[in-house]
Amino acid sequence: MSQLSYKAGQLHIESNNLSALAEQFGTPLYVYSKSQILANWQKFRAFWPSQHKLCYAVKANSNLAILQLLAQHGAWFDIVSGGELKRVLAAGGSANQVVFSGVAKSEAEIRFALEKGIACFNVESAAELERIEQVARALKTRAPVSLRVNPDVDAKTHPYISTGLKANKFGIAINDAMAVFRRAHTLNHIELLGADCHIGSQIMSDAPFLDAAKRMFKLLERLQEEAIELSHLDLGGGFGVDYEGHATLDLENYLQGVIDLAHDYPKLTLMLEPGRAIVGDAGVLISKVEYIKRSDDKQFVLVDAGMNDLMRPSLYQAWHDIVPVRELTGVADGIVDVVGPVCETGCFLGHARHLNVNADDLIAIKHAGAYGFTMASNYNTRVRPAEVLVENDRAWLIRERETFDDLIRGERLIAEE
């Protein structure tokens, strides 16, 4: 994380002292670097011609301020629910710059998106295509659609975030795709715009991306032979973040490879859906050490952030680097398990970490900008953290910490007769 560094023995994000932020806003606390988000966005833009689109994957981090920031810098958006569309609109984005993915879109979500003027639905099944046709007919309009094809490419990623194999729930099997394209081409209330694929998340090699792209361009050739012309090809997202410092994705090589494949399609708009790659390394989760617990076999660092605040380690066995906010020099690190307060053995942030901290110290969990707060829950009746956005020495509270009243709003006691 380039915006994270020690200054005078204290960890800073940009020019903000994390200890001072924790004192002001409390812990656990998510903190995001505005400069890092924009730098990541510009890294994509530098290699992606302006006629093509970058659709930020809202599910990675859906805070309104971050959506607002990206909308101001020309982002389109990839959503997976009607709620995410409402978020984009609330942040100042436009529905006509939104693509709607997801395997189980409800009739109400489809109707709402059509009424707002969605740019395109990424259709995930033949049944969904028929539902969109029915809703569009009732609204006396035409629905813009792209068919999401499952290219059967193994992205070599965690099985929970692999989406491009024929065994996964996502998309239309590539062997069935032509029949569904033909059907879409004939429907009166469907405007067939494009083809789409997405093979998974946290991919660190350009090889599976390019493999999928080549399969999709072959599909375009077959469609052209049947006079089915598409205006765009959406190749999804899944660009990996280097959580452990071991590997990097050659983004420039991949983007140039896609542009080369599209050489014979000068009118074709290419679309990508980066999410984690924009916000993942821009955020940290600050947590306070509550206790140090020692046993014969282990030493535990018990902190106030748990699996309800950051689910990735428990769900995916994901690695996040954990560092002390106060720099210690000349002191040997111990080997500890960093665990949270949730009443589950699976509530941990890191196993066997080299760390030297004491009770009341602060730690920072790095690369927490993506799939951190968006996956957070209120399990164990725990309030979700506050979120802060920083730039240079400025800090904005972009989400207040929840209260107990927030948690029970809408619940009702049974009235006694």
Confidence at residue 162, expressed as pLDDT on a 0 to 100 scale = 44
Verify that 265 and 323 share a domain, yes or no.
no
- Residue 116, H or E segment: helix 107-116
Last residue of a domain, one of 256, 272, 288: 272
Provide the domain limits for residue 384.
Answer: 4-32+280-408
Do 302 and 256 lie in a common domain?
no
Selection from 336, 344, 340 nearest residue 290 by Cα? 340
Q: Contact, 276 vs 201, CB < 8 A?
A: yes
**Domain-embedded: residue 293:** yes
Q: pLDDT tens, 82-105?
A: 999 999 999 999 999 999 999 999
In this structure, the answer to whether residues 25 and 135 fall within a common structural domain is no
Nearest to 15 by CA among 390, 406, 415: 390
The CATH number of the domain where 391 resides is what?
2.40.37.10
Q: Which of 115-124, 210-219, 237-246, 386-395 has the lowest average pLDDT?
A: 237-246
In this model, does residue 410 exceed pLDDT 50? yes
> Taking the CA atoms of the chain, what radius of gyration do you get in angstroms?
23
Q: How far is CA 58 from CA 27, 135, 141, 353, 371, in A?
A: 25, 25, 27, 31, 10
Q: Which residues are annotated as a binding site for substrate?
A: 276, 312, 316, 344, 371
pLDDT mean across residues, the chain: 93
**Phi, psi dihedral angles at 31 (to 5 degrees):** -130, 130
Alpha-carbon distance of 200 to 153, in angstroms, equals 9
Q: Are residues 190 and 232 in the same domain?
A: yes
Task: Give the pLDDT band of residue 160 (cuts 50, 70, 90).
Answer: very low
Instruction: Identify whether the C-beta of residue 326 lies closer than 8 Å to the C-beta of residue 362.
Output: yes
Rounded Cα–Cα distance for residues 164 and 154 (Å): 7
Residues 140 and 246 in one domain: yes
Whether 133 is in a domain gets the answer yes
pLDDT at 164: 42
CA 129 to centroid of chain Cα atoms = 25
Q: What residues form the annotated binding site for pyridoxal 5'-phosphate?
A: 238, 273-276, 371
End-to-end Cα, the chain, rounded Å: 60
CATH of the domain at 260: 3.20.20.10
Identify the pLDDT of residue 167.
52
Catalytically active residues, by annotation: 343
∠ at Cα 345 (18, 161), nearest 5°? Answer: 75
Residues 181 and 240 grouped into a single domain:
yes
Pair (253, 291) in one structural domain? no
Predicted confidence at residue 166, as pLDDT, reads 52
Among residues 237, 272, 307, the one where a domain terminates is 272
- Residue 158 — very low, low, confident or very high, per pLDDT cuts 50/70/90? very low
**pLDDT of 381 strictly over 60:** yes
pLDDT higher than 50, residue 163: no
357 vs 329, more confident: 357
Domain membership flag for residue 74: no
Same domain, yes or no, for 118 and 13? no
Give just the sign of the alpha carbon dihedral 388, 389, 392, 394: negative
Q: Which helix (H) or strand (E) element contains residue 53? A: strand 53-57
pLDDT at 249 (0 to 100): 85
pTM attached to this predicted model: 0.94
Higher pLDDT, 156 or 182: 182
Residue 155 has pLDDT above 60, yes or no: no
The two three-digit tokens of residue 262, written as one number: 């599209």
Query: Among the listed ranges 33-42, 160-169, 259-268, 269-278, which one has the minimum average pLDDT value?
Result: 160-169
DSSP-assigned letter for residue 296: S
Helix (H) or strand (E) holding 350: strand 348-355
Q: Residue 291 forms beta bridges with which residues?
A: 302
Per the CB < 8 A criterion, the answer to whether 399 and 387 are in contact is yes
CB atoms within 10 A of CB 51: 10
Specify the pLDDT at position 41. Answer: 97
Total domains present in the chain: 2
b vs e for 138-147, b when ≥16 Cβ sit within 10 Å of the residue's Cβ? Answer: eeeebbbbbb
User: Last residue of some domain: 272, 301, 331?
Assistant: 272
Give the pLDDT of residue 295. 86
pLDDT at 169: 64
Segments of 197-330 assigned E as strands: 232-234, 269-272, 283-294, 299-303, 322-324
Tens digits of residue pLDDT in 198-257 = 988 889 888 989 999 999 999 999 999 999 999 999 999 999 998 987 777 889 999 999
pLDDT above 70: percentage of residues in the chain: 95
Question: Do 307 and 186 share a structural domain?
Answer: no
Beta strands 53-57; 269-272: pairing state? parallel
User: Which one-letter DSSP state was computed for residue 401?
Assistant: P
Per-residue confidence (pLDDT) for residue 394, from 0 to 100 = 98
> Which residues, 6+ apart, have CB-to-CB distance to 207 below 8 Å?
none
User: Are both 301 and 162 inside the same structural domain?
Assistant: no
The residue behind tokens 């829950």 is: 377
| Residues 349 and 383 occupy one common structural domain | yes
In a domain, 242, yes or no: yes
CA atoms within 13 A on the CB side of 215: 23
Q: What is the mean pLDDT of residues 115-144?
A: 98
pLDDT of residue 417: 74
- 267 & 299 share domain: no
Half-sphere exposure of 51 toward its Cβ, with a 13 Å CA cutoff?
Answer: 10
Q: How crowded is residue 295: how many other Cβ atoms within 10 Å of its Cβ?
A: 7
Res 154: pLDDT = 62
Lowest mean pLDDT among 219-233, 236-250, 301-315, 390-404: 236-250
What pLDDT is attached to residue 201?
A: 85
| Annotated binding-site positions | 238, 273-276, 312, 316, 344, 371
